[in-house]
Amino acid sequence: MSSSGVILKAGILGATGTVGQRFISLLSKHPFFTIHVIGASSRSAGKEYSKVAKWKMTTTLPAEVGDMVIQECKPELFVECDVIFSGLDSDVAGEIETSFLKADLVVFSNAKNHRRDPVVPLIVPTVNPSHFNLIPHQRSLHSLRKGFIVTNANCSTTGLVVALKPLQDAFGPIEAVIVQTMQAISGAGYPGVASLDIFDNVIPFISGEEEKMEYETLKILGDVNETATGFNMLSFTKVSAYCNRVPVIDGHTECVSIKFKNRPPPSVEQVTQALDSYVSESQLIGCYSAPKKSIIVTADQDRPQPRLDRDNGDGYSVTVGRVRECNVLDVKFTLLVHNTILGAAGSGILNAEIALAKGLLKVES
């Protein structure tokens, strides 16, 4: 039960995929979201989940979900849902999510399709919940009473902006960011990366990923305009990304160099302090899934490491280490984000918790 005593009915779109499975895994233990409807492709619809889904989580498939019958992803089958989490693939997400929005439903999407929409907030829950302020305008534009759509960010972008946010807050505009990722295979879904491609190997390319990091960072770290009708993207900051796939199951590691506008730049100690003391709004308003610390700064010189640190804060914390001077820009560090929790399904859930706290979920009590 939420603090207000409400139980919310959740729908899941794309429930058989890897993001969908993660939604199931997280929601089945959630105190006030209950899984009410699960949707997948028409090929799977009408069948019991356990008969169709190839369950790949390391935790057991919850029996009550295994017994549920999969529905087609049609809004009329989800009308009872207070929130809908979409783990749909981008090749179908755009159209389906739009149809749900038009049906006045609340959609938290992990897909990329609506991220660049000028009236769709792109929210990393431990970074920019203020972007929910655009929802009234979005509703008004689409003549909605209670529905809206919010997207979470690309998994690699998510880790990056969590670390940049407190630095921008504390030290002013960031002029330049160079980020290089080492991304886990789970980021590619299932079957995703062929084992013959990634065993004993690195793939120095992930289609569209660098562009996402270079764009989404500017939207997330920007703000809602004065009339709450659009976003002011960062225009000053330049981001350069290299995205690599490495033989790791979960957890994206990122090497980041940044340059501040203000001279002299903050010292390594000041940067470390700003990261370590960061408290996100999701923590302040007491969201259930918010981590104790949005950023964990590790003093060990050989951390963060994906296998040992990805579950920090139950996958909702970003771990930062090796903060030091950069010979070329100002400061550099290494960060780690759990790509399928904070970097995907977890962001959707925590975003929904924030929306509830902000009174955006109009739940019949």
Please pick, among 73, 81, 155, 287, the residue that the annotation labels catalytic.
155
d(CA 291, CA 313) in angstroms, rounded, equals 5
Alpha helices in 103-185 (DSSP H): 135-142, 155-171
Residues in 113-152 at the binding interface with a copy of itself, rule: CB under 8 A: none
142 vs 322 by CB, closer to a copy of itself: 322
Is the backbone peptide bond immediately before 125 cis, with ω within 30 degrees of 0?
no
Q: How far is the CB of 206 from a copy of itself (least distance, A)?
A: 9
Please pick, among 36, 114, 252, 338, the residue that the annotation labels catalytic.
252
Q: Is-contact 125 344, C-beta < 8 A?
A: no
Provide the 8-state DSSP code for 250. Answer: S
52 vs 203 by CB, closer to a copy of itself: 203
Does residue 226 belong to the site contacting a copy of itself (CB under 8 A)? no
In DSSP terms, which residues pair with 12 in a beta bridge?
Answer: 38, 85
Please, which residues have CB within 8 angstroms of residue 117's CB and are 6 or more apart in sequence? none
Residues in 182-201 at the binding interface with a copy of itself, rule: CB under 8 A: 182, 185-186, 190-201
Task: Figure out which of the listed residues 42, 240, 267, 277 binds a copy of itself, where binding follows CB under 8 A.
Answer: 240
Amino acid in position 311: D
Residues in 204-223 at the binding interface with a copy of itself, rule: CB under 8 A: 204-205, 214
Residue 341, Cα to own-chain centre: how many angstroms? 7
102 vs 292 by CB, closer to a copy of itself: 292
Residues in 304-343 at the binding interface with a copy of itself, rule: CB under 8 A: 304-308, 311-312, 321-322, 326-329, 332, 334
- Number of residues near a copy of itself (by CB under 8 A): 61
161 vs 329 by CB, closer to a copy of itself: 329
Q: Interface mask (CB under 8 A) for a copy of itself, residues 259-298, using x and -?
A: x---------------------------------------
What tokens does 79 get?
Answer: 């009308």
Is the backbone peptide bond immediately before 304 cis, with ω within 30 degrees of 0?
yes
d(CA 207, CA 6) in angstroms, rounded, equals 41
Does residue 47 belong to the site contacting a copy of itself (CB under 8 A)? no
Please, which residues have CB within 8 angstroms of residue 79's CB and are 6 or more apart in sequence? 103, 105
167 vs 354 by CB, closer to a copy of itself: 167
Residue 304, Cα to own-chain centre: how many angstroms? 20
Does residue 173 belong to the site contacting a copy of itself (CB under 8 A)? no
Q: Is-contact 54 44, C-beta < 8 A?
A: no
Q: How far is the CB of 336 from a copy of itself (least distance, A)?
A: 8
Per DSSP (E only), the strands in 53-118 are 71-72, 83-86, 106-109
Residue 252 among the catalytic residues: yes
| Cα–Cα nearest to 44, from 15, 1, 7, 24 | 15
Q: How far is the CB of 169 from a copy of itself (least distance, A)?
A: 22
Give the binding range for a copy of itself (CB under 8 A) out of 63-71, 115-123, 137-145, 177-185. 177-185
Backbone angles phi, psi at 124, to 5 degrees: -95, 120
Q: Is-contact 282 186, C-beta < 8 A?
A: no
Q: How far is the CB of 148 from a copy of itself (least distance, A)?
A: 32
Q: How far is the CB of 241 from a copy of itself (least distance, A)?
A: 8
Q: How far is the CB of 176 from a copy of itself (least distance, A)?
A: 4
CB neighbours of residue 29 within 10 Å: 9
The residue assigned the tokens 């050989």 is: 302
Q: How far is the CB of 305 from a copy of itself (least distance, A)?
A: 5
Task: Figure out which of the listed residues 60, 140, 262, 277 binds a copy of itself, where binding follows CB under 8 A.
Answer: 60
Residues forming contacts to a copy of itself in the complex (CB under 8 A) are 18, 56-60, 176-178, 180, 182, 185-186, 190-205, 214, 238-240, 242, 244, 246-249, 253, 255, 257, 259, 301-308, 311-312, 321-322, 326-329, 332, 334
Active site residues: 155, 252
